[in-house]
């Protein structure tokens, strides 16, 4: 659906792709347990919100390539400056959502990773807004990878270390 119908038809294609990606988390969780727990729901929400700033940052860095290929990525359609502001809004949303699991069973290890990785991701997104360049976009892209990696590692370590 994403590749065939949405990728070349809408600037919001990544949002739809993120929705599909987040459903994979729920499908995996349903294979483990017949009941839906809070943890996979929060992880699905975090992945859904994380996807747009991650890929739109890459799309700013590769703006000319997407434009030449006729793929209507958000930065190509609205411009890099406006896209950077939208990325910042999505980054704040994903960071807020990533903190919530600390109040639903995960502890201080997870919360520290969520706050630290989230602060770094927001910092890089602000830098992207201030100077929407290929360099700033790639820095934000890598910050998104670090943020998600920290969250996932902390989600595994927190219950293992804290019991």
Give the global pTM: 0.90
pLDDT digits (tens, 9 = 90+) for 30-53: 898 888 888 889 999 999 999 999
Rounded Cα gap, residues 17 and 76, in angstroms: 18
pLDDT digits (tens, 9 = 90+) for 105-150: 889 999 999 999 999 999 999 999 999 999 999 999 999 999 999 9
Local structure of residue 12 (DSSP, 8 states): T
104: which 2 tokens? 């639903």
Radius of gyration of the chain from Cα atoms? 16
Structural domain boundaries, residue 126: 2-162
Q: Degrees (nearest 5) of the Cα angle 16, 143, 157?
A: 90
Inter-helix orientation angle 80-99/108-130, to 10°: 170
* Closest by Cα among 61, 75, 73 to 124: 61
Query: How many domains does the structure of the chain reveal?
Result: 1
**Half-sphere exposure of residue 49: CA atoms within 13 angstroms, side-chain side:** 21
């Amino acid at each position: 659906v994403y590749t065939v119908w949405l990728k070349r038809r809408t600037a919001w294609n990544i949002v739809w792709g993120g929705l599909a990606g987040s459903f994979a988390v729920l499908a995996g969780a349903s294979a483990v347990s017949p009941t839906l727990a809070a943890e996979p729901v929060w992880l699905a929400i975090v992945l859904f919100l994380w996807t747009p700033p991650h890929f739109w940052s890459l799309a700013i860095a590769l703006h000319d390539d997407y434009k030449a290929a006729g793929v209507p990525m958000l930065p190509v359609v609205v411009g890099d400056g406006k896209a950077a502001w939208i990325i910042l809004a999505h980054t704040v949303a994903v960071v807020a959502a990533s903190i919530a699991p600390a109040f639903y069973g995960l502890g201080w290890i997870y919360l520290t990773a969520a706050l630290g990785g989230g602060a770094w991701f927001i910092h890089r997104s602000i830098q992207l807004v201030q100077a929407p360049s290929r360099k700033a976009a790639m820095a934000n892209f890598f910050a998104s990878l670090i943020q998600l990696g920290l969250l996932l590692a902390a989600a595994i370590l927190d219950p293992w270390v804290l019991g």
